[in-house]
């Protein structure tokens, strides 16, 4: 909106006029952008429909149809200029095939978003990213990163078939602490090569230096509070590596970083941090703190025994410094869904 410093000494009535005109102008711009985007998506869907109908028109069109997209790209570019590359025409065609009812496509998404979604062959996976993009308003770059990091498959690995279907239909709905914690986090944006001997301090510093990307990996609702957050017990200082607040769950989220295996003392320490925040840092209306120990390695049995009878909001998750093998993840989920059916 308007620069406050430039308008604070203006006549109040004139200032009000400026503000109303400015709001109207900005609203008009947004409506125009939305209208253009809607028109583009509707037009591209119709073009895809015409292409499919032509392809299905029978043997009389078969010969020309062998190079249909190439021919259309050349001739439409001559007629109308840019926008009719063979690749773009193929996305229009795919859009009609995958969204046969145009009204089901949200106009909150740009054509670039839709092209990214159309690259996904699996219907469940595509539906998840579609829903999640609307929920979190990702940019195209953010959508690409979440696809590349296998977000849907990482979330789906810890769910049964019913929950996977729900995830694909609704996106990730945050209602409880378990909903914000992943089994493993992908930190490829830190650009730490492997093998490389880095320290916990360096890992923490790199996360802070890439805070925007780390928040995207954490998910919706996180706000940063501080690093090396100091707490004092019996005149002894302690420091929580990273502290966040989750706006939806209304809870502090404490993250401790480990570059090797998690030890039982690390779990006890996190439990102590959570107890301190519950008693000393929570305000009225805040819910119990959530603790996440983020480690390079994880001994499942040790974690199970060390957390026995302990706060259910304490989680131990792994991180990796490179993008996962998405085909391997897809195979794991397929086996999991097949096992659920038995």
pLDDT category at 61 given cuts 50, 70, 90 is low
Tens digits of per-residue pLDDT, 258-309? 998 899 999 999 999 999 999 999 999 999 999 999 999 888 888 888 888 8
Mean per-residue pLDDT of the chain = 89
User: Is residue 315 within 8 Å of residue 292, measured between CB atoms?
Assistant: yes
Residues 214-229 as b/e (b if ≥16 CB within 10 A, e otherwise) read: bebbbbbbbeeeebeb
Tens digits of per-residue pLDDT, 175-219? 999 999 999 999 999 998 877 788 999 999 999 999 999 999 999
pLDDT at 311: 72
User: Is residue 93 within 8 Å of residue 52, measured between CB atoms?
Assistant: yes
If you write DSSP's letter for every residue of 316-334 in order, what string do you get? Answer: EEEEESS---HHHHHHHHH
Higher pLDDT, 100 or 193: 100
pLDDT at 164: 87
Q: Which residues, in sequence order, are CB contacts of 160 under 8 Å at separation 6+?
A: 336, 340
pLDDT at 213: 95
Q: Is residue 338 packed enough to be buried (19+ CB in 10 Å), middle (13-18) or exposed (0-12)?
A: exposed
Average pLDDT estimate for 26-43: 86
Average pLDDT estimate for 231-258: 95
pLDDT at 1: 45
Largest CA distance in the chain: 88
Tens digits of per-residue pLDDT, 65-83? 568 899 999 999 999 999 9
Span of 124-128, 156-160, 284-288 with lowest mean pLDDT? 156-160
Q: What is the pTM of this model?
A: 0.83
User: Is residue 250 within 8 Å of residue 239, measured between CB atoms?
Assistant: no
Percentage of residues in the chain having pLDDT higher than 70: 94
């Amino acid at each position: 909106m308007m620069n406050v410093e430039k308008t604070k000494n203006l006549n109040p009535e004139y200032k009000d006029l400026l503000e109303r005109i400015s709001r109207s102008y900005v609203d008009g711009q947004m409506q125009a952008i939305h209208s253009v985007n809607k028109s583009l998506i509707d037009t591209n869907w119709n073009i895809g429909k015409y292409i499919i109908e032509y392809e299905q028109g029978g043997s009389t069109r078969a010969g020309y149809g062998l190079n249909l997209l190439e021919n259309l790209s050349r001739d439409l570019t001559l007629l109308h200029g840019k926008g009719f590359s063979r690749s773009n025409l193929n996305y229009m065609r795919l859009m009609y095939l995958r969204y046969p009812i145009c009204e089901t496509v949200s106009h909150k998404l740009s054509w670039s978003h839709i092209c990214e979604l159309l690259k996904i062959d699996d219907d469940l996976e595509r539906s998840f990213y579609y829903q999640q993009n609307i929920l979190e308003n990702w940019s195209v770059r953010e959508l690409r990163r979440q696809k590349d990091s296998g977000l849907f498959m990482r979330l789906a690995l810890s769910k049964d078939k019913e929950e996977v279907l729900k995830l694909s239909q609704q996106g990730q709905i945050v209602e409880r602490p378990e909903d914000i914690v992943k089994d493993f986090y992908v930190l490829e944006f830190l650009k730490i090569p492997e093998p490389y001997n880095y320290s916990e301090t360096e890992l923490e510093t790199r996360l802070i230096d890439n805070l925007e990307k780390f928040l995207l990996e954490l998910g919706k609702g996180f706000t940063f509070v501080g690093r090396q957050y100091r707490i004092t017990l019996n005149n002894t200082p302690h420091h929580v590596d990273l502290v966040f607040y989750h706006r939806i769950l209304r809870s502090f989220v404490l993250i401790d970083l480990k570059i090797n295996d998690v030890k039982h003392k690390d779990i006890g320490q996190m439990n102590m941090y959570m107890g301190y925040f519950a008693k000393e840092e929570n305000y009225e209306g805040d819910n119990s703190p959530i603790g996440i120990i983020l480690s390079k390695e994880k001994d499942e049995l040790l974690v199970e025994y060390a957390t026995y009878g302990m706060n259910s909001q304490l989680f131990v998750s792994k991180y990796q410094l490179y993008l996962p093998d998405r085909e391997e993840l897809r195979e794991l989920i397929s086996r999991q869904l097949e096992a659920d059916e038995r």
